[in-house]
């Protein structure tokens, strides 16, 4: 399940990342040691921890004491079907001390880095419809141009049924927080560093059998409300999985994963793009609304509602939560002390936010 080569998953909930050869490996280790120093009282570094995987020091296997691994939080661990994307950020993917050869090699890998400010290194997306993952490697990201980068990234947010606008919206909020941090610090510059995006691809299924429920064909429900006063938009990610031959419907309702990052104390702002994806399959197609369309809450009070009531008359109460999304900074082999803002990284973040916003708006 590990997203990247060279990452080993440990049963204790951490991942082991082998230290790269010098100077890169020791530089990354030094970066983590500095940020996670127990005596650290620098406000900038303490806030930075919020955007990194937790760090648990280094580890060496007893059989090979000279092999060193960084022991890091496994950000994907709490997800059932984690969808993962690794995006390199910045206008330069080579550091200030790179040789001419290294610069040439890095630029030729992706000449658009300067203009676009980021590069998709890979992604792994769970498709609900086929119960399988689609994977893209770094060649996929390097094939993206200014014209195709929006569609290229939107692939990551597509479940096979529909675009997960809830995840896009939550991702924008998280990237904006990281941008705020960069706008407020002038002590570190990051090169060839990445953002790791993770979201829940499955409907965390609570299966609700609606067989014994009289579907509300004639009964009126107040606009936007279900019985018991639950607002329909509160139930994000409802998938009607199937209907049995005798017309029973199984609905699988998205269940929120518990917050798992201790430092994330700040409550997320309310999500504006609640989303419902419906797929109803029935041999008696006349009985059930057959659809595999996405509905945002803006449309819920329109004509769609009476049809929805037929399918979702009784729903369990769901807390209103934003999509379960993690965005963390990773890969710090090229982090250097500085006395200026990291303009290249900031440029990349702003451009990435613009692309995500365009995906959301269309």
pLDDT-derived band of residue 204, with 50, 70 and 90 as boundaries? low
Q: Which residue has the higher pLDDT, 321 or 32?
A: 32
Domain ranges of the chain: 1-74, 75-203+322-361
Question: Averaged over 23-39, what is the pLDDT?
Answer: 98
How many percent of the chain have pLDDT more than 90? 64
Q: Is the pLDDT of residue 320 over 50?
A: no
pLDDT of residue 157: 98
SS (H, E, C) the chain: CCCCCCEEECCCCEEEEECCCCCHHHHHHHHHHHHCCCCCCCHHHHHHHHHCCCEEEEECCCCCCCCCEEEEECCCCCCCCEEEEEEEECCCCCCCCCCHHHHHHHHHHCCCHHHHCEEEEEEEEEECCCCEEEEECHHHHHCCCCCCHHHHHHHHHECCCCECHHHHHHHHHHHHHHHHHHHCCCCEEECCEEEEEEEECCCCCCEEECCCCCCCCCCCCCCCECHHHCEHHHCCCEEEEEECCCCCEEEEECCCCCCCCCCCCCCCCCCCCCEEECCCCCCCCCCCCCCCCEEEHHHCCCCHHHHHHHHCCCCCCCCCCCCCEEEEEECCCCEEECCCCCHHHHHHHHHHHHHHHHHHHC
Question: Averaged over 102-117, what is the pLDDT?
Answer: 98
Could you tell me the CA-to-CA distances from 319 to 71, 230, 236 in Å, in that order?
34, 9, 10
Q: Is the pLDDT of residue 172 over 70?
A: yes
For the chain, give the mean pLDDT. 76
pLDDT of residue 259: 26
pLDDT of residue 323: 74
pLDDT-derived band of residue 78, with 50, 70 and 90 as boundaries? very high
Instruction: Using a cut of 0.95, tell me whether the model's pTM lies above it.
Output: no
pLDDT of residue 203: 80
In this structure, of 87-101, 203-217, 230-244, 325-339, the range with the lowest mean pLDDT score is 230-244
pLDDT of residue 185: 98
Instruction: For the chain, give the longest Cα–Cα distance.
Output: 74
Q: Is the pLDDT of residue 219 over 90?
A: no
pLDDT of residue 302: 42
Question: In this structure, what token pair is assigned to residue 129?
Answer: 């419809």
Q: Is the pLDDT of residue 292 over 80?
A: no
Question: In this structure, what token pair is assigned to residue 183?
Answer: 């706008």
pLDDT-derived band of residue 284, with 50, 70 and 90 as boundaries? very low
Q: Do the beta carbons of residue 82 and residue 326 sit within 8 Å? A: no
CATH number, domain 75-203+322-361: 3.30.470.160
pLDDT of residue 7: 86
**pLDDT tens digit sequence for 120-162:** 999 999 999 999 999 999 999 999 999 999 999 999 999 999 9
pLDDT of residue 197: 98
Q: Is the pLDDT of residue 32 over 80?
A: yes
Q: Which residue has the higher pLDDT, 136 or 362?
A: 136
pLDDT of residue 279: 35
Residue 33 has a CB neighbour count (10 Å cut-off) of: 13
In this structure, of 10-14, 257-261, 288-292, 355-359, the range with the lowest mean pLDDT score is 257-261
pLDDT-derived band of residue 208, with 50, 70 and 90 as boundaries? very low
DSSP lists the bridge partners of residue 58 as 70
């Amino acid at each position: 399940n590990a997203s990247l080569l060279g990452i080993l998953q440990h049963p204790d909930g951490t991942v082991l990342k082998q230290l790269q050869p010098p100077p890169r490996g020791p530089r990354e280790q030094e970066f983590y040691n500095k940020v996670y120093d127990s005596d650290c009282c620098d406000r900038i570094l303490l806030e930075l921890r919020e955007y990194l995987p937790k760090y648990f020091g280094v580890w060496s296997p007893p059989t090979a004491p000279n092999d060193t691994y960084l022991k890091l939080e496994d950000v994907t661990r709490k997800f059932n079907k984690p969808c993962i994307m690794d995006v390199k950020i910045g206008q330069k993917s080579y550091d200030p001390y790179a040789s001419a050869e290294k610069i040439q090699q890095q630029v030729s890998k992706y000449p658009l880095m300067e203009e676009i400010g980021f590069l998709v290194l890979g992604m792994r997306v769970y498709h609900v419809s086929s119960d399988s993952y689609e994977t893209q490697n770094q060649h996929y990201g390097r094939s993206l141009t200014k014209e195709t980068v929006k569609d290229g990234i939107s692939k990551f947010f597509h479940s096979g049924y529909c675009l997960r606008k809830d995840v896009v919206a939550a991702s924008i909020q998280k990237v904006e927080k990281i941008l705020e941090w960069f706008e407020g610090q002038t002590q570190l510059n990051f090169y060839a560093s990445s953002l790791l995006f993770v979201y829940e691809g499955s409907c965390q299924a609570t299966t609700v059998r609606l067989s014994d429920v009289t579907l509300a064909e004639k009964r009126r429900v107040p606009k936007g409300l279900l019985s018991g006063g639950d607002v329909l938009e509160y139930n994000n990610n409802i998938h009607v999985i199937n209907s049995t031959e005798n017309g029973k419907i199984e609905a699988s309702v998205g269940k929120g994963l518990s917050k798992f990052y201790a430092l994330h104390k700040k409550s997320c702002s309310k999500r504006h793009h609640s989303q419902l994806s419906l797929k109803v399959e029935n041999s008696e197609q006349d009985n059930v609304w057959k659809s595999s369309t996405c509905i945002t809450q803006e449309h819920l009070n329109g004509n769609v509602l009476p049809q929805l009531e037929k399918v979702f008359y009784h729903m369990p109460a769901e807390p209103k939560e934003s999509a379960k999304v993690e965005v963390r900074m990773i890969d710090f082999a090229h982090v250097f002390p500085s006395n200026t803002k990291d303009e290249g990284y900031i440029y990349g973040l702003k451009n990435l936010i613009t692309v995500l916003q365009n995906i959301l708006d269309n």
